[in-house]
Structure 1
Amino acid sequence: MRRGWAAGILILVLSTAPAIGKTPPERAVIEPAHIVEAIKLQQEADAAKDRPPQNGEPWFTVLEGKRPIIVTAPHATSPFRDGQYRFSDGGGTAALATMLHQLAGATAIYTTRASPSDPNYEDDNAFKRKLAALIADQRPLLVLDLHGSHPYRPYDVDFGTLNGASLLGKPWLRQRLEQRLRGQGVLNLSDNYFAASKHQTIAKFASRLGVPAIQLEISSTWLTPSDGSLAAHRFSQLLQALVRYAREIESEATAPQAWLSSSP
């Protein structure tokens, strides 16, 4: 009796499991040189995180791309909020945004000096005005807002979507992003722990301008490629997932259901 029950379970598992080798895995797109560049970018941003801009110096950088996605990193350096500077999310967010520009053609906007105003807390600042201009000019399919999260938190990535409202009726944008992250080994995911609903967040700002937006709270354990080989490998996995997602995002406009049903 027990043998028959065990055999039945085994048949069920095998019948529902994907066929190994049926579809070959995708070829890797991230090279070691990309991570070397990311490490340099992270270290440069970290070195400048507490330096206020001097003599009219810009405190953020814009890299315009041709892909219909805007990637923001508003806390790559220390933001000024409620009368004081707060901690930064780390230069890894600036490195990630820059590499998404280089490898996927996304438009990137990220802070490079201690910010005189917090772009994820207030709307009245140059960062938000530039973002609004980019949205008006490009009409992107998505704004992806990158943040670093405390390493003690249990998730790898938390999706902030104003509890779904910032997706503007396009839930497949988050669903496909989840598929891509899981496909690269970023497995511990959370939904709207940080919903981006408090204060004047970038996700709220972009969605009010008619563009779907997702705030990504990424564990800092995935955002410090300079910390050694394992940390660099994790950053590479994360970067590859987001590069693939950004490269295919135009498919959403024509066939979202086919897009979702395709293998990651």
Structure 2
Amino acid sequence: MKLYNEYINTRINEEAFAIEQTYFVKTDRRVNPKEIEPYKFFLGSIPILITAPHAVRHIRKKRIKPSDQFTGAISVVLHNKTNAYCLAATKLYGGDPAFDKPCIFKEKIREIVTKHRIKFVIDIHGASGERPFDVDIGSMNGISFGERRNFVEEIKNCFQQNDIKKITLDNFPALKQHTITRFVVEELNCSGIQLEINRKYRAFQNLNSFAQLMASLTCAVNYLSKKSN
């Protein structure tokens, strides 16, 4: 619980709130991706990439869909704490990075993974507060880490060590549609997982729950970083 205590003392939720206001404005105003990049890339130093494709509103089947609230700020704070690479959607551009193929967001992922020799991708999503789980780990039914399936259990332990107990596996397996996890595994030969995080842990207003979440995610990234050597 050392990280948890540190994040409580430094009021990590205030850092996240400032980031959310800076980069992730919720609007129906659409930009032309040929003129304005609809994402923000943060350079890292370890071979882990954090993605937040639904950090802002997006368009799926010609309909505007709501953002996965605060997932953008969570990904950037995680970058700040671990120095993982980070790619988060920042503009409504006409597509859905976690659904479309072809996709400019995924092509940026391809560039990052190739150029920086990324070993693991963690794709951050938000689940409703009414879901019966705290976090669901999507592993493509166990294949997204290849032969290293024990990594999923280690990531699960990171949450449980911080008293986030209701961890499920593959309620959202990231296997259907053109998810980012499926893309990096099948097309980039890279390991990845999709995390669906219950809203009660994403809300900045509750410092305790948010610190639990960020301590858990930091633990997971640090574990994967060590295993990438």
Matched residues in 1 for 2:208 and 2:28: separation? Answer: 28
- Whether contact under 8 Å (1:67, 1:246) holds in the other structure is no
- Please state if 1:63 is matched with 2:42: yes
Alignment of 1:59-138 (within 5 A): 59-90=38-69, 92-138=70-116
- Whether contact under 8 Å (1:67, 1:247) holds in the other structure is no
SS in 1 for 2:177: coil
- Say which one has the larger Rg: 1
- Whether contact under 8 Å (1:139, 1:211) holds in the other structure is no
Moved over 3 A (4+): 25-29, 43-47
SS in 2 for 1:158: strand
Amino acid at match of 1:197: L
Matched residues in 2 for 1:34 and 1:151: separation? Answer: 21
CA drift of 1:123 comes to: 2.8
Work out the number of aligned pairs and report it: 225
User: Please, which of 31, 35, 38 is the counterpart of residue 16 of structure 2?
Assistant: 38
- Whether contact under 8 Å (1:168, 1:211) holds in the other structure is no
User: Alignment RMSD, CA only?
Assistant: 1.8
CA drift of 1:197 comes to: 1.1
Aligned to 1:182: 160
User: Please, which of 237, 244, 253 is the counterpart of residue 219 of structure 2?
Assistant: 244
Question: For residues 45 and 154 of structure 1, do their structure 2 counterparts lie closer, same or farther at Cα, with a shift above 3 Å needed?
Answer: farther
User: Please, which of 179, 195, 204 is the counterpart of residue 216 of structure 1?
Assistant: 195
Matched residues in 1 for 2:28 and 2:207: separation? Answer: 24
SS in 2 for 1:80: strand
Higher strand share: 2
Runs of 5+ consecutive residues of structure 1 not aligned to the other structure: 1-24, 255-264
CA drift of 1:170 comes to: 1.2
TM-score by length of 2: 0.91
Higher helix share: 1
Q: Which has the higher contact order (CA 8 A, sep 6+)?
A: 2
SS in 1 for 2:46: coil
SS in 2 for 1:48: coil
Query: What is the aligned-residue identity percentage?
Result: 25
- Whether contact under 8 Å (1:61, 1:111) holds in the other structure is yes
- Whether contact under 8 Å (2:12, 2:207) holds in the other structure is no
TM-score by length of 1: 0.80
